[in-house]
Structure 1
Amino acid sequence: MVFAYVLSVEAGEADSEQIGTKTYRNGTSSPAQSLFKKGLEVLNATLLVFDQFMGYLLGIFKSAKPRRFRFVQ
């Protein structure tokens, strides 16, 4: 469940420039859609074809920087 949430937010952040803004009467504004909801739309389109989804996941994992952990005892 957490993995799906993180994937949705990650996809939403990647597509965040396509999210419009909503302006209220008092002059304040906010995004018209949450990052989670936008990412979920992107993932739903990707999930229709399993091979395409696996390619999406591999692209995420290959672009991640390897981390080196230093343990101090």
Structure 2
Amino acid sequence: MIRHLTQNDLLLLAYNELPPEEHARMLGEVSASELLLLEYTQLLEDIAILSPISYSPEATSVQIILEESCSSSSLEMI
């Protein structure tokens, strides 16, 4: 059966989210196609760049949320 690989398949492969047999089969398919291999290596590079990036809220935003939660808690007691 011929199966076309999708972006989702490549993501599953890159994040090692496939069973070992499926991983080996799909890696073979990717290695056999220059276009798929190029896309897969680009995806791995992008993941390596984005992985260390972390997001956190601004301190002001956290303060506003905390103040709002404190002021609304007294109303909930009524």
> TM-score normalised to the size of structure 2?
0.34
Higher strand share: 1
Q: Which is helix-richer, 1 or 2?
A: 2
Question: What TM-score do the two structures reach when normalised by structure 1?
Answer: 0.36
**Which has the greater radius of gyration?**
2
Structure with greater contact order relative to length (CA < 8 Å, sep ≥ 6): 1
